[in-house]
Amino acid sequence: MKTYELFIGPQHVGITGNFSVILELEGNVVKKATPNPGFLHRGFEKLMEMRGFIHNVPIVCRICVPDPDPNEANYAMAVEKLLGIEPPPRAKYIRTIVLEFSRIASHLFTFGGHAGSIGLYTIPNWTISDRDFILDLFEMLTGGRVYHIFIYPGGVRRDLPDGFIEKAKDVLNYLEKRLDDYNKLYFDSYMFKKRARGIGIINKEDAIEWGVTGPNLRASGVKADTRKDDPYAAYGELDFEIPVLTGGDAYDRIMIRRMEVVESIKIIRQALDNIPDGPIREKVPNPMRFIVPPGDAYVKVESSKGEYGYYMVSNGKDKPYRVYIRGASMTHGIHILEKLLPGNYLADVSQIMFSLDVCPPEIDR
Amino acid sequence: MVEGVVELIKGNFSDVEIVIPEHQEKRVHISVEKEKVKEIAKFLKDNGFRHLSFITCVDWIDEGKFELVYGLYSYEEKIVVLIKTKIDRDNPKQETLLPLWDQAQTYEREIHEMFGVYFDGNPGLTPFILEDWEGIPPMRKDFDSRKYSQITYDSEAK
Amino acid sequence: MGIKNYFSPVSALKFLVKKPVTVRVPYEKKEPSENYRGFHINDIEKCIGCGNCARICPPNAIEMVPMTEYPKYKDMKVEEGKRIKKIPKIDYGRCCFCALCVDVCPSFSLKLSRERIQVETDKEAFVFIANNDVSYKDNLGYVANEKSHLLGLKPKR
């Protein structure tokens, strides 16, 4: 049979952001897939070399739009490691709350996208509206809805406002109740199971070998989570489980995210209940002359997509010498897609992309 | 444990500089000659460091060197090992890690495009993010992005 | 397929009587939160013209201009040999509303309001001197406090 080329993207390919895949098709079966990134390249790494340490705080969150807080936390942690300071306990708890809310918000986005890609169009409407309640909380805490610019080297920028804890608990209760609704329409849906089961399988050995991280790795049966293995913020003091599934297909990759939302709700409840009193920021240099001693550090957090790392080199000046950003989607979006797409139907392409939760801004940076 | 990993590397490789960075838990930084990288990466891979986190490059323009940094992670030890090596800036060439990790392709492609480092034995060093790029690779320190944008986008400066 | 599954779509009817989550613009208005990061307010009398805000501003949106550029102080007498106080002029084409300028202001004169909608036909109107004579001057949003201030200063009573 004759093969033909099909360009998917850069708009609406089943991914949040601009990203295209060049498919070689035989009938409606994919023979070869070549991811083609670069539509969102903004040169953040170069930009950060030219700006002071504090001037970089408002731009790092723009690297991944649906899940901005891991960037802020990573950047702040890298600077803290080089300065040799630790944020105070209260700041760590506030960071944990922000990071987990950001994870839930990002997972809700993924649910909506995946459900949309298999034709369940009510779910995107629900998840996006529920995500807005989390954005309301962010707005209350930080003053911004999407870009929070909140986690500052040495701690956080503001304390929890009055009434935040009660409002956050209300939102958590609401989300927990909503998960039942989602179950009925989406997670227990016959159609979802029929479409997603057995699609894009990554087995355990391949997952480690190919560099899969985060929820996608745990869906393949590897119990690994940066929050447990290399604790940052307040995760070392909180009690939570790491859900693991063994199927490694699109169905398991979505279900593991649903289980993670439940765990995140648990983590936030604990953090809200046990938040200690005290200062919210460690003493750091003057923001106008923020000089960081020479050295290099690799820090990483568990973002909603996987291992999110920053490698920062300082040469003792007021600007970072080099910042490298390791987005989880760098492997998921290029290498894994190349491996997974061939052999699947065209209709499943966007579903596989969304089940991997690829975030193109992380690839391009 | 970090000490165990240090012992393991010291026991098998003699001319390796090992640094345990201050204030950073579960991190081991090692510096090696550029010929040794593949050997040591293979050794670490056989000893549990099966996850290639990232490969990146730092441009030390004053020294005239590029520093390649390889991040490896072990799911058993839960330790990150950074292998660093310096290569000549005028003739940037390095052996590829493709035989060890398939996904090194993505990172090597990016470094080839952004820094102009050539990876021997990697057949797929095709354009990655940039389109129709001519001139020096943009992530090098001597590339002035401000000047570039003025020349390219500002009609008055032309 | 059990009998329960057969009737389960009926439960969707409950959404007919639920309150919608959307806001009916323009009949209803969504109020921004207490410390929303909106447009700037500057108490020019209180401002000491130190230029901290211009130096910290990540996108270089703030320029320090002599106080006499502001219409209200246009005819102000300047004593011989004395320098005119400089005040921040903000370019909203560049501003990213990070509020770092608010958190480094030593006199606590610069604040953010909760006002966030501006419609103009003249593009020059988006570059203006932050002042205290705007309609939203009492609608305070992000204001620096003891804990948030990056220089560790306390607001005066």
Give which of C98, C100, C115, C154 to mutate to test A binding, by max A Cβ within 10 Å: C98
Half-sphere exposure of B36 (CA within 13 A, CB side): 17
| pLDDT of C157 strictly over 70 | no
For C126, counting Cβ atoms within 10 Å of its Cβ (0-12 exposed, 13-18 middle, 19+ buried), the class is: middle
- Check residue C15 and report its DSSP letter: G
Rounded to the nearest 10°, the torsion over CA A11, A14, A18, A21 is: -90
- Report CA-CA distances (Å) from A273 to A94, A141, A231, B6, C94: 12, 17, 20, 41, 40
Q: Tell me which residue of A206, A227, A133 sits closest to A174, measured CA to CA.
A: A133
- Alpha-carbon distance C35 to C16, whole Å? 35
Cβ atoms of residues A329 and A355 within 8 Å: no
Tens of pLDDT along chain B (158 residues) come to 777 777 777 777 778 888 888 888 888 888 888 888 888 888 888 888 888 888 888 888 888 888 889 988 888 888 888 888 888 888 888 888 888 888 888 888 888 888 888 888 888 888 888 878 887 888 888 888 888 888 888 766 55
- Alpha-carbon distance B110 to B117, whole Å? 9
Nearest-CB residue to B139 (from A45, A230, A363): A45
Going by CATH, does the domain composed of B2-153 fall within 1.20.20.10?
Answer: no
Q: Which residues on A lie below 8 Å from B107 (Cβ)?
A: 330
A14: pLDDT confidence band, cut at 50, 70 and 90?
low
Question: Taking the model in full, what pTM does it have?
Answer: 0.89
- Alpha-carbon distance B60 to B69, whole Å? 13
Chain A to chain B Cβ contacts (< 8 Å): 92
Going by CATH, does the domain composed of A43-362 fall within 1.10.645.10?
Answer: yes
CA angle A70, A74, A79 (to 5 degrees): 155
- CA gyration radius for chain A? 20
pLDDT in tens, A193-225: 888 888 888 888 888 888 888 888 888 888 888
Instruction: Encode A150-181 in three state secondary structure.
Output: CEECCEECCCCCCCHHHHHHHHHHHHHHHHHH
Burial pattern A247-275, b for ≥16 Cβ within 10 A else e, equals bbbbbbbbbbbbbbbbbbbbbbbbbbeeb
Q: Do A309 and B145 touch (CB under 8 A)?
A: no
Nearest-CB residue to A139 (from C36, C56, C98): C36
Provide the chain C residues 80-119 that lie in CB contact (below 8 A) with chain A.
96-100, 103-104, 112
Kindly state the tokens that stand for A72.
């802020």
Q: Which residues on A lie below 8 Å from C141 (Cβ)?
A: 143
Nearest-CB residue to A144 (from C55, C97, C104): C97
* Among the ranges given (A34-38, A73-77, B13-17, C55-59), the one the predictor scored with the smallest mean pLDDT: B13-17
Cβ atoms of residues A17 and A65 within 8 Å: yes
Kindly state the tokens that stand for C44.
């020019």
Domain locations along chain B: 2-153
ipTM of the complex in this document: 0.88
Q: Do B54 and A309 touch (CB under 8 A)?
A: yes
- Check residue A335 and report its DSSP letter: I
pLDDT in tens, A243-270: 888 888 888 888 898 888 998 898 898 8
End-to-end CA separation in angstroms for chain A:
39
- CA gyration radius for chain C? 23
Return the percentage of chain A with pLDDT > 90, whole number: 1
Instruction: Give residue B155's pLDDT.
Output: 64
Instruction: Give residue C2's pLDDT.
Output: 60
C8: pLDDT confidence band, cut at 50, 70 and 90?
low
Cα–chain center distance at C134: 12
Helix axes B2-12, B37-46, angle to 10 degrees: 130
- Alpha-carbon distance A105 to B64, whole Å? 45
- Alpha-carbon distance A297 to B26, whole Å? 11
Mean of per-residue pLDDT scores for chain A = 86
Q: What is the DSSP string of A237-268?
A: GS-------S--SHHHHHHHHHHHHHHHHHHH
Q: What is the DSSP string of B127-140?
A: --S-SS--SS-TTS
| pLDDT of C4 strictly over 70 | no
Q: What is the DSSP string of A15-39?
A: SSS--EEEEEEETTEEEEEEEE--T
Neighbours of A193 (CB within 10 A): 12
Which residues fall within 8 angstroms of residue A210, CB to CB, at 6 or more apart?
A202, A331, A335, A336, A339, B102, B103
Q: Do A211 and B128 touch (CB under 8 A)?
A: no
- Alpha-carbon distance A147 to A65, whole Å? 8
Instruction: Give residue A15's pLDDT.
Output: 62
pLDDT in tens, A282-338: 888 888 888 888 888 898 888 888 888 899 898 888 888 988 988 888 888 888 888
Instruction: Give residue A228's pLDDT.
Output: 84
Cβ atoms of residues C38 and A139 within 8 Å: no
Report yes or no: C32 at the A interface, CB cutoff 8 Å: yes
Report yes or no: C55 at the A interface, CB cutoff 8 Å: yes
